[in-house]
Amino acid sequence: MSFTSLTFWVFLAIVFAAYWMIPGRQCKNILLLIAGYIFYGWVSPWLAFMLGLSTLPDFFLAKGMRAQPSRTRLLLGLSLLLNVGLLAFFKYYNFFSADLAELLANLGIKNDFLLTRLLLPAGLSFYTLKKLGYIIDVSRGALEPTDTLADFALYVSFFPQIVAGPIDRPQKLLPQIESGRTWKAEFFYNAWPMILMGLFKKVVIADSIKVIVDQIFSLGSPSLFLFLMGALAFTLQILADFSGYTDIARGTAQLFGFEISENFNLPYLSLTPTDFWNRWHITLSTWLRDYIFFPLRRALMRSRVRLPHWLVLSILPIVTMFVSGLWHGAGWTFVIWGLYYGVLISIYQLMVIRGDWKPKSPVLLGLAWLVMFSFIVFGWGIFRSPSLAWLGNILFDMPFIKAQSDLIVGLITLSMVIAYSAPLFIKLALDRFSKESWFHPAYYALATTLIIVFLSSSSPDFIYFQF
Amino acid sequence: MRSILRCLLLFSVLIAVTWVKISHSYDLEFPRAPGPTFDNQVRKLYISKLENDEPDMVMLGDSTLLDGVDPDRLSELTGIKVSSFDAPGSASAFWYLVLKNNIVEAEHKPKYVLILFRDTILTAPGYRVHGSYFVQLDEFARRNEPVLLEQAYLNLMNPLEKFAEGTFPLYAARVQIRRETDAMIRYSLTSWLGCNKECNDNSMYEVFTSADLEPGQLQSAIAAAEGYLYTDRQLDFERQIDNSFLPEMIHLTQENNIQLVLVRLKTLITGEQDPQAIERYVGDLSEYLAEQNVVFLDFGTDPRLINEYYADALHLTREGEALFTEMLAESLKVALKKEAGK
């Protein structure tokens, strides 16, 4: 069920009305749990079945850790094997199966099953990280496992965030699930601007700019200039799409009395790569920091082999961002994109430019922003490229501009980027400079009008559904 | 609280302003019947073709027909004069209009009309009817097209959409407003460089239309667009048949003594779908066509059309076209002979 479909809004209205009518925390939780499974299994009940099946082991393994602390490592290993195994199977099966089938065919073993394409269940990457965060924290003694299966299952399947996050920590979401909720009007007052902005970003900005982005990245060999303009347009599309989704998720959760994490904090105003990852997809970044980066750093520090400081500084972000790239998908472009950020973070750190670095001189500040923004745009260019060969061809073989038509199309793309990013700048200015006035209501009224104009019965899925 | 009330107030003002402005600018009266409005001009392209060439057999289809059958060779092989009315991007709504407003209206009517289609396209009336496809349909539609309006648009709208279309100018005129806004945005920067609309459109055409597309992206785009034809709803023949143009097309041909021949083409997309659902659909279609006395030639799973004969998931190569033309001619001769013997 997509947030932009009418089905979802009818579903939300029914669940919302029923939720606030029934009494008691447990009944409310059970209703949300059922709603989560309906929402998730709407396209295929098989998805909901798989969600349930993968939730059970983690609940009991966590309980087992508390009952038998001496077996914690074994139980953790089992959970990692199950979760990472399932994720890796669905994410990377298609990547390797064709090669494997060819290899077997060369050995005289025909296996047609390997050529069957598997569809990655939407949200698997997100709820797997939620479960892993829970089980790792329980194993470390940082979290008491919950005794109620329904509460844990709701933590995993909470419908506003099951498909594309935010990847909330159990410490944030479980206490909210375990405590009672009574209706407050402020839930609605907080929710509606978020939901409206989310729809506006998705329907008006992301879906409009998507058209030209798809056209440019469908070309066999665009010029370097067109590629860069396409990457710039994609930079806007992915922000509007993903932050729009997050806004709707946060607003929807708020309607049920839940507060879920913010995922974006003006990421394109970053001055360094570390700063960017502190502002972009924040819940994924903090997950990677806490469960990959820090444990790896501890392991390196405890290691008997003393590595040079510069090497430690380089290895940590490169490995972490490599994992981030792999998490995004089975494709070399994602791996290279992850490594690209790993290398950028290492270089900045080796130059002693940390995440919170902010030059005092306005010229230097502007320059630092421009350099980082260019890195971000190029990074999205790698991310959106259909293949590494395609990217290599553009970077090394294509001229900057092939014909005058390239320049015109590039400028058309730039016009679209300027026009469709303008509402985001206006919103930013309103948030900064105008708190209590008619400007915000006017902005939302205009946004609603534009949503009606741009509404289409076939809005494409959110980009992050595929991860 | 105050903020939401202010927003609602301003939104009401905006709705009122747009109500007056849009009704005036687009010459629309509200409330009105939902659905798009067509102009009364009908392009007579195929009427002239029929009257100039006087073919006995007409083939209707999209680009898969253009790349799939050589009409001259088919004429040679069958001994029947054949014309190909292939319109890239067309689908059942377009074929219905061409049949209704061109073929049966021509003084010279063909003896046979072949419609070359793939899988569920004949019972998917909402396929390719919006955006640029609407412009293509409008060329062959009259102002009053109740069947087209009902099957391609109204049947697919939920009650809320119908209400909004008929009542709110902002919603009813959204396609035009969006097109105009989009044009204004697209052409703003380049106009400062002296590049007018024509120059912009030519550049877009030069870069995108004549370019070689990245093969993987092309396949994904085709698969995504064709996905509509393989949803549970489209694969449910019993549910779709009465909502489609097929009964009306059969009726039109029978009324005008034209033998309708439906030819199911093979595509590489079919193999990626649920084989049982497609088999069930084709079985139901075949049974229905037999009852209606329509000739049905099914090449959907023909093993002679191997992958090497395909340029992409839908279109045949030159070699594929040559082979398929021969296959079609052979099947046609048998089927028409059988039909004549009845």
Per residue in B226-272, pLDDT (tens digit) is 888 888 889 999 999 999 999 999 999 999 999 999 999 999 887 77
Instruction: In whole angstroms, give the CA distance from residue A181 to residue A191.
Output: 16
DSSP string, B195-257: --HHHHHHHHIIIIISSPBPHHHHHHHHHHHHGGGGSTTTT-HHHHHTTSSHHHHHHHHHHTT
The helix or strand, by DSSP H or E, that contains position A244, with its residue range, turns out to be helix A224-255
Closest by Cβ to A455, choosing from B174, B218, B272: B174
Q: How far is CA B113 from CA A346, A436, B45, B85, B245, in A?
A: 68, 68, 17, 10, 15
- Give me the pLDDT at residue B167, please: 86
Helices (H), chain B: 2-25, 45-53, 63-66, 71-78, 92-98, 132-140, 146-148, 159-167, 169-172, 174-191, 197-204, 215-226, 237-241, 246-255, 275-291, 318-340
d(CA A456, CA A448): 14
* Cis, peptide link before residue A166, omega less than 30° from 0: yes
- Residue pair A287/A167 in contact by the 8 Å Cβ criterion: yes
CB nearest to A416's CB, from B160, B171, B186? B186
Output the pLDDT for position A177: 94
Average pLDDT along chain B = 89
A440 interfacial to chain B (CB closer than 8 Å): yes
Check CB contact of B132 with chain A, cutoff 8 Å: no
User: Any idea what the Cα angle at residue A380 is, between residues A377 and A381, rounded to 5°?
Assistant: 85
* Residues pairing with B85 in the sheet: B60
Tokens describing residue A429: 């200015």
Amino acid at B127: Y
In angstroms, the CA A382 to CA A332 distance is 10
Nearest partner of B120 among B280, B258, B311, judged by Cα: B280
Tell me, rounded to whole angstroms, the distance of Cα A138 from its chain centroid: 24
> Could you give the percent of chain B with pLDDT greater than 70?
99
Distance CA A314, CA A347 (A): 8
Give the model's pLDDT for residue A463. Answer: 59
Q: Do A454 and B272 touch (CB under 8 A)?
A: no
User: How much of chain B, in percent, has pLDDT values that exceed 90?
Assistant: 52
Are A137 and A171 in contact by the 8 Å Cβ rule? The answer is yes
- List pLDDT tens digits, range B160-197: 888 888 888 888 888 888 888 888 888 888 888 888 88
The pLDDT value given to residue A100: 67
In B, which residues are within 8 Å of A230 by CB distance?
Answer: none
- What is the structure's pLDDT at A250? 96
**Residue-level pLDDT at B226:** 84
Find tokens 């479980």 and name the residue: A174
Sheet with strand B295-298: strands edge to edge: B82-86, B57-61, B112-117, B259-264, B295-298
> CA-to-CA distance for B79 and B73, rounded, in angstroms?
10
- Mutation pick from A234, A404, A415 vs chain B, by most beta carbons of B within 10 Å, is A415
Q: Is B190 an interface residue toward A (CB < 8 Å)?
A: yes
* Residues 6 or more apart in contact with residue A86 via CB below 8 angstroms: A54, A124, A128
pLDDT at B285: 95
> Is A328 noted as a catalytic residue in this protein?
yes
Task: Report residue B95's pLDDT band, with 50, 70 and 90 as the boundaries.
Answer: very high
- Res B68: pLDDT: 94
Place of tokens 């030519």: B202
Residues of B (8-27) whose Cβ lies below 8 Å from A: 8-11, 13-15, 18
* Positions of chain A with pLDDT lower than 50, given as ranges: none
CA dist A54 to A35, A65, A124, A156, A176, Å?
A: 18, 18, 10, 10, 23
In the structure, what pLDDT confidence band is assigned to residue B207 with cuts at 50, 70 and 90?
A: confident
Of A117, A218, A411, the CB nearest to B217: A218
pLDDT the model gives residue B212: 67
pLDDT at A95: 67
Whether A437 has its CB under 8 Å from any CB of chain B: the answer is no
Mean pLDDT of B60-71: 94
A454·B186 Cβ contact <8 A: no
SS3 A311: helix
* Contact status of B188 with chain A (Cβ, < 8 Å): yes
Which has more confidence, B322 or B172? B322
